[in-house]
């Protein structure tokens, strides 16, 4: 953790010269490592920053909002590590104010995991049987969270996005693609700290709508926001999402075996009458719907970006040109 130094002056300078449309052409060049629900993950190409993953979150309207977010974020990390026992990638935070828009931009800095050790990279190198073993270990880590939620139901529950791309394999050498027993994982997708206390969501749900086009906000709030806020508290739905993303990762041949692995685990969560086995038809249907929604949503965001440019207004979000599905 001592390596993670948050230099406020550096991030003020970076933000002043940042180009959201082409981060690599910023005054301090950066390239995108990944896109999240409410953040973009960047690697800033300076000697002291190229070993870190920097999550940029430009949606806060004032200091109170970012302070409230950080309160939830820090508690989420504490519960995940101290009470649930997940191994999290260390992080530090800082924020700066955009002098033009007045918005507050939060940065979460994490040590960048070695290339090839992230789950969605490793599944292209590991033998099939090792990928299935990896997913089994991921499911075991996820189960810790949902076991905690069941024990603390109605009191304190945490949401989790368990996609394979959110885990790094420790003690793994991509040059020798074999898992080392015991398989140890680190979870790093902590920037969406969904947490319910006494049945009430602690993360401000409006943050999910800040990056949405203004002409879609009411539709998303009415029809989709509740689903976003609840799907990551449902173990079965999180598992379906994990498996369905193997279509996106171009490993569909593994899905039947992954379904069997998941069904074996989920069937132990309750009596047989309470558990509906996951099917390949369900996975296909889920993935088609999810891919269609996100393609359409990205198209609308690009329209919104073009409108901002036409109106000579800054558009602070980084958008992917195309998402492979």
273 pLDDT higher than 70? no
- Between CA 56 and CA 172 the distance in angstroms is 28
Closest CA to 172 of 227, 139, 125: 125
Least confident of 156-170, 175-189, 302-316: 302-316
Could you report the per-residue pLDDT of 222-272, keeping only the tens digit for each?
A: 888 888 789 999 999 999 999 999 999 999 999 999 999 999 998 876 544
Where along the chain do its domains lie? Answer: 8-310
Residue entry with tokens 């009191």 = 155
280 pLDDT higher than 80? yes
- The DSSP code for 34 is E
Please report the pLDDT score of residue 50 as a whole number. Answer: 87
- E strands, the chain, are 30-35, 40-44, 52-60, 91-97, 104-111, 156-158, 167-170, 184-187, 195-197, 200-201
Please report the pLDDT score of residue 325 as a whole number. Answer: 60
Q: Would you say 52 and 109 are in contact if contact means Cβ atoms under 8 Å apart?
A: yes
Which pTM was predicted? 0.92
Please report the pLDDT score of residue 1 as a whole number. Answer: 41
- The DSSP code for 145 is H
Could you report the per-residue pLDDT of 128-163, keeping only the tens digit for each?
A: 999 999 999 999 999 999 999 999 999 999 999 999
């Amino acid at each position: 953790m001592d390596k993670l130094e948050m230099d406020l002056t550096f991030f003020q300078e970076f933000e002043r010269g940042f180009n959201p449309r082409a981060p690599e052409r910023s005054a301090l060049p950066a390239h995108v490592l990944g896109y999240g629900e409410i953040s973009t993950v960047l690697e800033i190409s300076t000697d002291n920053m190229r070993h870190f993953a920097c999550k940029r979150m430009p949606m806060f309207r004032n200091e109170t909002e970012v302070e409230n977010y950080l309160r939830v974020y820090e508690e989420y990390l504490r519960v995940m590590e101290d009470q649930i026992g997940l191994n999290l990638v260390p992080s530090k935070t800082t924020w700066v104010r955009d002098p033009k828009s007045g918005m507050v931009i939060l940065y979460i800095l994490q040590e960048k995991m070695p290339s090839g050790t992230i789950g969605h990279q490793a599944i292209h190198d590991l033998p099939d049987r090792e990928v299935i073993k990896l997913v089994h270990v991921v499911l075991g880590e996820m189960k810790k969270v949902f076991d905690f939620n069941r024990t603390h139901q109605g009191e304190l529950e945490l949401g989790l996005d368990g996609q394979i791309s959110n885990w790094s394999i420790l003690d793994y050498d991509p040059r020798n693609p074999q898992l080392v027993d015991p398989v140890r994982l680190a979870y790093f997708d902590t920037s969406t700290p969904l947490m319910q206390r006494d049945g009430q969501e602690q993360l401000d749900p409006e943050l999910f709508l800040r990056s949405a086009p203004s002409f879609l906000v009411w539709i998303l709030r009415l029809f989709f926001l509740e689903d976003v806020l609840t799907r990551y508290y449902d173990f079965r739905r999180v598992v379906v999402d994990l498996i369905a993303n193997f279509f996106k990762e171009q490993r569909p041949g593994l899905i039947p075996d992954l379904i069997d692995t998941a069904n074996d685990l989920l069937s132990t969560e309750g009596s047989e009458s309470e558990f509906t086995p996951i099917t390949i038809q369900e996975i296909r249907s889920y993935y088609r719907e999810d891919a269609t929604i996100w393609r359409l949503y990205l198209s609308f965001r690009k329209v919104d970006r073009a409108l901002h440019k036409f109106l000579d207004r800054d558009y602070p979000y980084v958008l992917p040109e195309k998402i492979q599905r």
